[in-house]
Structures are given as C-alpha cells and as structure tokens.
Amino acid sequence: MKKVIAFITTIAVVLSLCITVFAESLSYAGECTMQYYDEIMNISVYTNNAYGIVVQKGIDTKKQALTKENIIAAMDELPQKFTSNIGWIILTDKQSPQSKDIVASYYNKMIAFYDNEWLNDESMMIFGGNPFDFFIFTNNIQSTYKYILCHEIAHSIDTCSISEEWHTIVDESEKLYSSKVKGKIKYDEEFANTAALIIKDFEYVAKTTPNKYKYVAQILNAHGFVFPLEQVNDNSPYTNK
C-alpha cells in the first residue's frame, strides 16, 4: 500500500511539474502566435466559392504590380477543372523565402506572388534553349503574370513529372532554359513551363517540341482544355529528327 501511495505521489509531482512547464511554454507559444496573427491578419481576403485571394494590407504596388482584379480575370479565363486544386492565392510585396529572384511559387494548394519589382526594371524573362531562344517575354509583370499563374497551377496538377516516360520525352526534346538549375534539368519545372507555354501558344509548342506537346496537352485536356492531339505535328521540321 505504501508503495502505491509513493508511486501516486511521484506521478503527481512529475505531472504538476510537467503542467507548470507546459503552461509556461503555452503562454510563450501564445505570445508568439498572437504576434504571428498580428502579422498575417494584416491582410484583406477575397473569396468566391472556388478559391480565395489574400492581399497584404498596405502592399507596396511598386514591388507587387499585380492586383486582386488581375488574378480574378486570369482565373476566369481558365477551365475550372484546371484551377480546382488551388485554394489560396497570395499577393505580397515580400521577397520569396527561397530566392529573391522567384516571382511566384506553388505549395500545398497555395500560390504566392512575391516582390516582382525586379521584373519591371531592365530584366526580362527569357525562355531560352534552341528553339525557344526567341521566346522572350517583355519585362513587364502585367504581360507575364498569366503565364506565371498557369505555370504555378500546372504544378498543382502535376502527377507525372517523376515518371520515366516524361523524363525520356524531356531528355530527347529541346529544354526550356528556365527549367535548368545549375545545368541540371528540373523535370517538374519543365512540365510546368511546357503546360504554361501550351496554354499561351499551343501551336508553337506543337511545332517545336511535338512529343512534349502531346504528352502535356493530353494531361491539360483531362483538366478541361481542348487542345488538338492529332493533326498538329505533320509538317513540323522537328518531328523526324
């Protein structure tokens, strides 16, 4: 009986110690959480029944040239089946946590558009690599954001860029300059870029890289697009190489 009482007392002491430590860490976490909420609550939120747009309040429009209206207009042009995986789109004037040169990113049903002021300067987005060398976007975010949005949405439907079939197709095709990181091909970026390019100008992609076109256009068609899959490559100078 004594042993039992001693055991219960020990448990009680340990428990009360734990509760004290836990309570302290809780109140600390509480403070942090409140600070965090203060920071992230400084936003305005737009939602329709498909997705939401979060805009940082007091956003520096020189650093973030996109508006909620730009995003809604671009989303409206796309098939709902294509955009249905997107939950939130965030507009901020902060730089990307990954790299200051990243304009947007996709993660877990969320697209974030970061500080893109650098795109409004002398810089340009160039999608290079023969024959894409001449595929140059202007240096104004307003003319490139639809492409960027489609690129990010394409990541959300990507279940194939790890497949061997896609790797083979990419390895045997012309690559997009922006899909190479330190000379290494990023197959997921190649997929997203190809999808976005097809949406922008499918005939161009079908002509220049028919195999990549066919593979990705088929996936896009399963997500509400209607790109032609047959007659597109008959006269392509790149088909029989």
Q: Does 176 bind Zn ion (CB under 5 A)?
A: no
- In sequence order, which residues have a C-beta less than 8 Å from that of residue 72 and are 6 or more positions away? 46, 53
Q: Restricting to residues 48-77, which ones interact with Zn ion according to CB under 5 A?
A: none
Q: Could you give the residue ranges of the DSSP H alpha helices within the chain?
A: 2-40, 68-76, 80-83, 141-156, 164-171, 187-208, 210-221
Stretch that binds Zn ion, among 112-120, 186-194, 200-208, 222-230 (CB under 5 A): 186-194
* CB nearer Zn ion, residue 192 or residue 197: 192
Instruction: Name which position in 170, 192, 196, 217 contacts Zn ion (CB under 5 A).
Output: 192
- In sequence order, which residues have a C-beta less than 8 Å from that of residue 64 and are 6 or more positions away? 56, 91, 92, 93, 113, 114, 115, 116, 117
Distance in angstroms (rounded) separating the CA atoms of residues 165 and 170? 9
* CB nearer Zn ion, residue 115 or residue 189: 189
Q: Using CB positions, name the residue nearest to Zn ion.
A: 192
Q: Does 216 bind Zn ion (CB under 5 A)?
A: no
Q: Total number of residues binding Zn ion (CB under 5 A)?
A: 2
Stretch that binds Zn ion, among 81-89, 124-132, 156-164, 187-195 (CB under 5 A): 187-195
Q: Which residues bind Zn ion (CB under 5 A)?
A: 189, 192
